[in-house]
Amino acid sequence: MNSRGAWLGVFLAAGLLAPMSAFAQTAAAAISLITRQAGTIDDSISNSATKMKTFTRGDASGVLSLYAAEGSASKLVVQLVSLESGDVTEYYFLDSKLIYVVQACENFSTGAHQGSLASCSTISEDRFYLSGGNLVAWLRGTGPGPIKMHEVPAGRGKVAAKLEEITLSASTWMAFAESPLRDFDRFAAERRAGD
């Protein structure tokens, strides 16, 4: 390859890599900002929930807690426990917009044959960072021990579907918090029938 071809290769590579690194820097900045905002919400909420509700969902039972922070910030925590798993989802809102979601799941292996009730076998966690109605980052970690987070490589369709799923989930749980019903499945069925 001649020197002109080599330089052309360097310029092409630089042109292709620059947008990716700019995107990575933008995503990292968004993650940092949203993490700080969620931390501020956590710091400003009181230790007691503004609204707390016990509920059932299938064979699982749960607790929904809504916390009002200073200004227009809030946090909704949904805890759901069955014999097989324990799930906790935290939704963070700023100016009534969803900005951050953490979904953690612990799957239990029952050890009745060993004389124990249950032991945690796997843990998974997903973190969703939202800005301007867009999903700007999705991190996932799994493991039986400490979780190391990594970015989920997602195509445009997968990101759009996940964004729709988590925003629908957040709005459904917020509406359920205001409902007098304590059976989530019945609430969801009535809500679908009303749409």
Q: Is residue 67 part of a domain?
A: yes
Give the confidence band of 35 by pLDDT, cuts at 50, 70, 90.
Answer: very high
pLDDT of residue 4: 41
Between the two ends of the chain, the Cα-to-Cα distance in Å is 65
Higher pLDDT, 153 or 50: 50
Q: Is residue 164 part of a domain?
A: yes
pLDDT of residue 102: 94
Q: Is residue 66 part of a domain?
A: yes
Overall number of domains in the chain: 1
Q: Is residue 87 part of a domain?
A: yes
pTM as predicted: 0.78
Radius of gyration of the chain (CA): 21
Q: Which of 120, 159, 122 is nearest to 138 (CA)?
A: 159
What number is the average pLDDT over the span 20-28? 59
What number is the average pLDDT over the span 93-112? 83
Give CA separation, 81 vs 43, 84, 174, 188, in Å.
26, 8, 19, 18
Q: Is residue 17 part of a domain?
A: no
100 is in which domain, residue-wise? 36-194
Q: Is residue 10 part of a domain?
A: no
pLDDT of residue 5: 41
* Phi then psi dihedrals of residue 183, to 5 deg: -105, 105
pLDDT of residue 154: 60
